[in-house]
Amino acid sequence: MEQRFPHLLFLCHRIPYPPDKGDKVRSYRWLQELLQHFHVHLGAFIDDPADWAHVAQLRERCASSLFLPLARNGATFRSMSGFLSGTALTIPYYRDARMRRWALACRVSHGIEHVLVFSSAMAQYAENSSWSTVRRVIDFVDVDSDKWRQYAHRKRGPAALIFRREAKRLAEAEARLAHVFDASLFVSEHEADLFRSGVGDVGERVKAIRNGVDTSYFDASTEHVSPYPVSSEPVVFTGVMDYWTNIDAVLWFVREVWPRVKAIRPRALFVIVGAKPTREVLRLGGEDIRVTGRVADVRPYLQHAAAVVAPMRIARGVQNKVLEGMAMGRPVVLTSKALEGIAAVPGRDLLVADEPAAYARAVVAVLSGCAPNQGPAARRLVEAHYGWAESAEKMVALIFGEH
């Protein structure tokens, strides 16, 4: 007898494939697991034209789907309505009547029993009381309101005021959603604890389900051709390069840390690997700094790097770039911000520094072979504690209301 799968609505602010950036890695893993237990109805926005190439294969696997383009200029214009309504600007940024109609039609036509919302901005499509009989879970991933608060501290003038407002309004929305949804997920206990402190009597509904890393894919035992000049000492940063926290990280590293490294290790080469580099990032390129843009496979850049760096000054949640570097068995040098949510031991599994001089010393120590080799320990840690299977099982159990 054929097994009856319940119907689930999965709403994502960004198409959950390919898993080529932090949030898409997590949403992709959730989708992979959900398809084993539910008839999945997937609604998502597409903000990168290249991602339209992947729509067909997702449609084949889902019971139904809706993919809508998200043009930055139009979405930014819509977000301005938040000033009039008093809401967070993020919410109207992702507002679309077609998504709302489709979600409601799915509920009526398919008898939706469960909803998983990925990111607070998508909750608007399953938030009102007409959805109250459906079990609803929201994966906030990070405490986004606190990220905006951090942005505000790094900005001046009107930008600081807007970011401070967004932090306040988004925190209000997050707290409201925590009371509406049956469970709220975060990527680490650190994020969950921060969120619980602001939501009062529904703190027991807040759960942490950690990110993982595909250790069979990110495995240094598979040899890749080096993309670096033979005589160089490559230091690599990976991440989507139109994301402000990544931009801030590489700018700080290049301005404050890199000259100190080069003064001692003249053969050092800094390589910024990631799609959509902004003009500000592209201008960093030169003889000893390379900006690759999108690459087909990030693993060769990690495998043959002398050091992987994550000099984040603004961060929330778990940095996938750190887990991937660790999985590839490379020495990782990061800030304490980038370490949050990762149960690694500084000095054993990786190196941590926050001030420019200390960060430069750590990178130089790795390049000169004077630092302990954290690579094997880092690999063992991610193998033992950062696989995806356990996290995916917890997520599905929570959707079914089993814990």
HSE-up (13 A, CA, CB side) for residue 254:
23
Coil, helix or strand at residue 115: strand
Task: Inform me whether the pLDDT recorded for 197 exceeds 50.
Answer: yes
**DSSP label at 382?**
H
CA distances from 265 to 50, 233, 335, 363, 374 (A): 38, 8, 21, 10, 20
Work out the average pLDDT over 89-118: 96
- Report the amino acid identity of residue 322: V
Q: How far apart are CA 153 and CA 108, in angstroms?
A: 46
Contact indicator for 228, 234 with CB cutoff of 8 Å: yes
Q: Using 50, 70 and 90 to split pLDDT, how confident is the model at 1?
A: very low
Cα dihedral value 25, 376, 263, 336, nearest 10: 50
* Percent of the chain residues past pLDDT 90, beyond the cut: 82
At 2 the pLDDT is 44
Q: How far apart are CA 133 and CA 137, in angstroms?
A: 13
Task: Inform me whether the pLDDT recorded for 13 exceeds 90.
Answer: yes
| Residue 102 CA to its chain's centroid (Å) | 26
Q: In terms of pLDDT, which residue wins out, 202 or 349?
A: 349
Q: What is the 3-state secondary structure (H, E, C) of 133-178?
A: CCEEEEEEECCHHHHHHHHHHHCCHHHHHHHHHHHHHHHHHHHHHH
* Percent of the chain residues past pLDDT 70, beyond the cut: 99
At 314 the pLDDT is 85
Work out the average pLDDT over 145-150: 90
Residue 201 tokens, joined: 């009597």
Q: How far apart are CA 229 and CA 239, in angstroms?
A: 21
Contact indicator for 111, 7 with CB cutoff of 8 Å: yes
Task: Inform me whether the pLDDT recorded for 344 exceeds 50.
Answer: yes
Question: Across the chain, what does the average pLDDT equal?
Answer: 93
Give the global pTM. 0.88
φ/ψ of 142, rounded to 5, equals -120, 165
Q: Collect all residues with Cβ–Cβ distance below 8 Å to 5 and sequence separation of at least 6.
A: 37, 38, 39
Task: Inform me whether the pLDDT recorded for 357 exceeds 50.
Answer: yes
Q: Match 């931009």 to its residue by tokens.
A: 247
Most confident of 107-111, 196-200, 202-206, 316-320: 107-111
At 403 the pLDDT is 61
At 4 the pLDDT is 77
What tens digit of pLDDT does each residue of 33-66 get?
A: 999 999 999 999 999 999 999 999 999 999 999 9
Work out the average pLDDT over 277-296: 95
Work out the average pLDDT over 155-176: 93
Q: In terms of pLDDT, which residue wins out, 175 or 198?
A: 175
Full set of structural domains in the chain with CATH: 7-212+387-399 (3.40.50.2000), 233-385 (3.40.50.2000)
